Structure 1
Amino acid sequence: MAKRWRLATHDPARIAALQSAAKLPAVVAQLLVARGIDDPAIALDFLEPKLTGLRDPDLLPGATLAAELLHRAVAGKKRIVVYGDYDADGMTSSAIMLRCFKVLGAEARLYMPHRFDEGYGLNVEAIRTLAAEGAETIVTVDCGVASIEEAKLAKELGLQLIVTDHHQMADRLPDAAAVVHPGLPGSDYPFPGLCGAAVALKVAWALCQHASQAKRVSEPMRRFLMQAVGLAAIGTVADVVPLIDENRILVRNGLAALRHHPTVGFKELERVAQLTRTPELGCEDLAFSICPRLNATGRLGQAELGVELLTTNSPERAAELADYLDELNETRKTLERSVLLAARKQAKERCRPETDPALVLAGHGWHPGVIGIVAGKLAEQYHKPVVVVSLDELGVKPGIGSGRSIPGFNLHEAFAHATEHLESHGGHAAAAGLRVQEKNVEAFRVAFCAYAERALGEENGGPEIQIDAETPLSALTHQAVSQIERLAPFGHGNRRPTLCTSDVRMAGPPRRMGGAGRHLSLDLEQHGVKLRAVAFGGGDWEEALLRVDGPLSIAFRPVINTFRGYRSVEVHLDDWKRDVPSGD
């Protein structure tokens, strides 16, 4: 599907004023203004986010009470259970809390619900089992804020339930001993965008302060908290929350903490991901190398192994686990490719993927652990909301579905409008899950697509590329791109700058690269300047580019590539078009 290019408008006066006041390079000032930042003080804080910029944990709604209750539980040697979640955010959240209890000299066990048998969050069977096994205090991480009935049962069974979460709340809060959430009703916490691991970090921080009876904690606790910042950075990147405000501080400093204060398990993850020779860790390293390996364990029903890797202090066990996670990730890739091919085939045969307002695809034998990734790839390909459902082979259990959205469409609300056809649902505006009986899939499809048509209207004009500026290749000096890198960490809410230029020619034929030739490598030339370009996921462009015999316009992201100790500028190609001769 052709993408529309939207070039940002610029105010030269605002750019010049910021450049002068903050003493910034012109390109950095221009990109900051494009992001709505023209105050010199805010700009400098943005470029140099310090850990001291994190808000005190006492300000996070519910954190102080949770810390007090957990400290009493530790002092009273209560049987504590950390109730986690099976994605990378949930794993890092669990690891933070488990490591916190360990540094406090307390014992706590992990309960990780099985992705396919139990589903997300608290469930009554698990609550009953934990109570029967002697649990006294349960602290949830990355889940629980919508678990109304489960909290009621926990209270009836005499369990002390402490909820730490960041997800969508129900119409009322659970009746728990404490609820920690950055967006609690009635609170004035200024940043509701924390992920589960960041909330867990704040609770652990408050608990350490409470145990120390001072804001300044002991040296062992300080070392733990630095490692916890690194774990929170992984969870923040994995959960695709906006990299602004406290999230930006956590990720920038967490990337450094992962390199300078790594856990034993993370060092082994770096090894299997082939990141040990990378001079500095970046968001892309977490997003494309670390997080997929952690998520693979949850997607394939073994999330507790991911938590064990992040909490073990045994180098031998860490190496064994990291190798196994690497194998699971390869299995995940194979399953993902298989389901993606089947889903694309179904979309073309049973739907009108170019014109339908949304897609709901369902199949038997589609592994439920990869349907979210497949939904995301199809949503990106067709630029519309997509739900992919894994149907039970025997037709006995409800199908498990996962949806991914596009900007401007709230999946959580869409599922709520079609709730009469569903067994259950939950999640975020951008990503959500559901359970649906096979006989109700078609009715859900009709209702979901009708809602999407009303909600999107004429707004869904297809995929767009937001372009920050038009820049010739000659301007992409090592110094200029290094200045652009000052805006990192890049990710959701702070995307890597996208530039464009025209009158570019290929200095040779494009070459496929990567597994199954999914990516493309090109040598580009413009007015005597040559640069290497890589199009990740652009392998299918090869045939069309081979037919081009004239100049191109390209949309790209400039990066510094490090290979065998040599650093060079290259561009990551987002899109291309044939240049139209003037007068045509």
Structure 2
Amino acid sequence: MNWQRCRPLWRAISTPEEIPGVEKTIRRRAVDPPAAWQDTPLHPLLARVYAARGVADPADLELGLGQLLRPERLLHADRAAAVLADAIAADRHILIVGDYDADGATSTALAVAALRAFGAKNVGYLVPNRFEYGYGLTPEIVELALAQGSPELIVTVDNGISSIDGVAAARDAGITTVITDHHLAGQTLPQADVIVNPNQDGCTFPSKNLAGVGVIFYIMLALRSELRERGWFREREAPNLGQFTDLVALGTVADVVPLDRNNRILVAAGLQRIRQGQARPGIMALLEVASRSSQSVVASDLGFAVGPRINAAGRLDDISLGIECLLQEDWSAARELAAALHQKNQDRRIIEADMQDQALRLLDDLSVAADAAPIAMTLYQADWHQGVIGILASRIKDRLHRPTIAFADGDPGEIKGSARSIPGIHIRDILDAVATRHPGMILKFGGHAMAAGLTLPRKAYADFQRAFTEEVERHARDVHLQAVVESDGELSPRDLSLETATTLRYAGPWGQHFPEPVFDGVFDVVHQRLVGEKHLKLVLSAPGSGELLDAIAFNVDLQRWPDPSATQLQLAYRLDVNEYRGRSSVQLVVEHIVPSR
């Protein structure tokens, strides 16, 4: 293990006591509901919560599919629809090339299932194995596709905007290419026949936050209109595309894209379909193995239960297992596939825990003589698992509240990194700036504001550390580097109720940039104990109220909790519904604890 390679990055290091996580502050959102809320029958608490999330008008809470932005507003969606309609009519071989995460899996499954529903008889999919081919439509993937059946049309989903060489290889082979993506484009675009991406120059689509699955869903909406105009449905029934909103909801939440109103409409429709028992068998089976009730499913269940099980296939092996689960129409087969995905997720957790232990030991080793967290973080261990470094980077980022990149060995002479960032520091822009200042240092990169991937020559690692740190320092001058828990204020004892918890649970959908409400308050400690070896179970009482409340804090610092001396705590918490043996009760899910002084 060669930890010393990480040393050049550090300008200042945390003390050992801080390593379990940087200290956080609780900050209350100071928002008064605008005048538009005054005449609404909505609960004042909900009005306050929605206003704090930028909802200026109660009408914006209407989340029916009829409120969706129109597909004709998405640049070139009509052109993509025309190409697809021609291919279906001519019975051409259509190949969907996807990505190896949950967004890519749902995008691929939606494209395949929807095209088949439209009458396409010759449609298949291919997803690069991340360990053999890397990301996106590459010349090697085109070669593999030709060997497996000579497609006449390749449609990328959740990738392709940076596939310059791959598109060129497809064009040379006489294959039409349609790129559908949502990632940020580079300075040069691939010479595809059609590119649909809300984030490409010239696209005025109001929602730039569509996930890959959202983009392909919009193209299917445009395709249905195109086929209807051609008279395609005179002899066959036009499919109801609402049947695919469960896939759209899953991919959108799992990819952690901002839940603007348009995305909330898509997610709300998918959640409603799942609750009504109309979802695809694969999604229902995945909820089942995760011990989640489909009837009471919320967005966080998709993000923390279903999504990781699909992602585990792509991280450890082949995402095709997840795609087949999502495409499966037979219940028993879907259950078998879901069980296999569940086991892969268990394996992923074991690998991740070991990697995280190694990373935290490194932090301990490096924190002997310093007193502050670093401005940025890079970690490299040759034998780390490529499929899990993204989760590791996310965990360390959460602990230190700093941009973090974790690296593992890739192809010979190369290392692959997965980056995660914090609000205010656009990680793809950081990598772009490094690549511009230091040509050749980064072999390839791509991603979003909060997450990105990159490949380096192994010999460039130390130089990249310095360049990355310097670039973060330039961008972080006006960024608040203190971890903050945003609170929606204090709840009265009357609102600490099952009724309020149930209302909040289904008032979303909550997610990225539209966070689930968090409240704060001071509570008396009646009882505390560890459960599951690392979770703190509390019985609390609000001062002035004799009613007891259950609370739980997950993954606590075992050096500090349980604390027998703690008699009163300030907590930041979510109000949740705990369902156990058919009984529902209110529970505080603790986000942050401030011990009594």
Q: TM-score, with normalisation over the residues of structure 1?
A: 0.92
- Structure 2 stretches lacking a partner, 5+ long: 1-21
Q: CA deviation at 1:83?
A: 0.5
Q: What is aligned with 1:268?
A: 285
Q: CA deviation at 1:192?
A: 1.0
Alpha-carbon distance change, 214 to 134 in structure 1, aligned in 2, over 3 angstroms? closer
Distance 1:217 1:325 in 2: 38
Question: What secondary structure does 1:55 align onto?
Answer: coil
Q: CA deviation at 1:407?
A: 0.6
Look up the equivalent residue of 1:265 and give its one-letter code: G
Alpha-carbon distance change, 221 to 368 in structure 1, aligned in 2, over 3 angstroms? farther
Q: CA deviation at 1:7?
A: 1.4
Q: What is aligned with 1:576?
A: 593
Q: What is aligned with 2:4?
A: none
Look up the equivalent residue of 1:501 and give its one-letter code: G
Q: What is aligned with 2:579?
A: 562
Q: CA deviation at 1:362?
A: 0.4
Q: What is aligned with 1:27?
A: 45
Q: CA deviation at 1:545?
A: 4.1
- Structure 1 stretches lacking a partner, 5+ long: none
Q: What is aligned with 1:552?
A: 569
Judge conservation of contact 2:259–2:512 (CA < 8 Å) in 1.
yes
Q: Which is bigger in relative contact order (C-alpha 8 A, separation at least 6)?
A: 2
Judge conservation of contact 2:254–2:303 (CA < 8 Å) in 1.
yes
Q: CA deviation at 1:71?
A: 0.9
Distance 2:307 2:576 in 1: 21
Q: Greater shift after overlay, 159-168 or 483-492?
A: 483-492
**Deviations, residues 140-167 of structure 1 (Å, cap 9, x unaligned):** 1001112223222322221100111100
Q: What is aligned with 2:54?
A: 36
Distance 2:451 2:246 in 1: 24
Q: Greater shift after overlay, 294-303 or 179-188?
A: 179-188
Judge conservation of contact 2:402–2:481 (CA < 8 Å) in 1.
no
Q: What is aligned with 1:328?
A: 344
Q: CA deviation at 1:458?
A: 6.1
Picking from 130, 138, 156, the partner of 1:123 is: 138
Q: Give the alignment of 1:90-239 within 5 angstroms.
A: 90-106=104-120, 107-131=122-146, 133-213=149-229, 221-223=238-240, 225-239=241-255
Q: Give the alignment of 1:404-483 within 5 angstroms.
A: 404-419=420-435, 420-457=440-477, 459-483=479-503
Q: CA deviation at 1:221?
A: 4.5
Q: Give the alignment of 1:283-322 within 5 angstroms.
A: 283-322=299-338
Alpha-carbon distance change, 565 to 466 in structure 1, aligned in 2, over 3 angstroms? same
Q: CA deviation at 1:578?
A: 2.9
Q: Give the alignment of 1:374-413 within 5 angstroms.
A: 374-391=392-409, 396-413=412-429
Judge conservation of contact 1:474–1:529 (CA < 8 Å) in 2.
no
Q: What is aligned with 1:507?
A: 526
Look up the equivalent residue of 2:53 and give its one-letter code: R
**Deviations, residues 60-101 of structure 1 (Å, cap 9, x unaligned):** 211111111111111111111001100000000000010012
Look up the equivalent residue of 2:297 and give its one-letter code: L
Alpha-carbon distance change, 203 to 549 in structure 1, aligned in 2, over 3 angstroms? closer
Look up the equivalent residue of 2:89 and give its one-letter code: A
Aligned length in residues: 564
Look up the equivalent residue of 1:109 and give its one-letter code: G
Question: What secondary structure does 1:571 align onto?
Answer: strand
Q: What is aligned with 2:388?
A: 370
Distance 1:215 1:428 in 2: 40
Look up the equivalent residue of 2:142 and give its one-letter code: I
Q: CA deviation at 1:472?
A: 3.6
Q: CA deviation at 1:568?
A: 1.6
Picking from 497, 514, 518, the partner of 2:517 is: 497
Judge conservation of contact 1:472–1:501 (CA < 8 Å) in 2.
no
Judge conservation of contact 2:211–2:252 (CA < 8 Å) in 1.
yes
Q: Tell me the percent identity.
A: 31
Distance 1:529 1:215 in 2: 65
Judge conservation of contact 2:183–2:199 (CA < 8 Å) in 1.
no
Distance 1:353 1:307 in 2: 47
Q: TM-score, with normalisation over the residues of structure 2?
A: 0.90
Distance 1:113 1:247 in 2: 27
Judge conservation of contact 1:520–1:542 (CA < 8 Å) in 2.
no
Q: Greater shift after overlay, 542-551 or 402-411?
A: 542-551
Question: What secondary structure does 2:39 align onto?
Answer: helix
Alpha-carbon distance change, 340 to 497 in structure 1, aligned in 2, over 3 angstroms? same
Q: Give the alignment of 1:59-74 within 5 angstroms.
A: 59-74=73-88
Look up the equivalent residue of 2:550 and give its one-letter code: R
Look up the equivalent residue of 2:453 and give its one-letter code: G
Picking from 19, 23, 28, the partner of 1:2 is: 23
Picking from 355, 363, 371, the partner of 1:339 is: 355
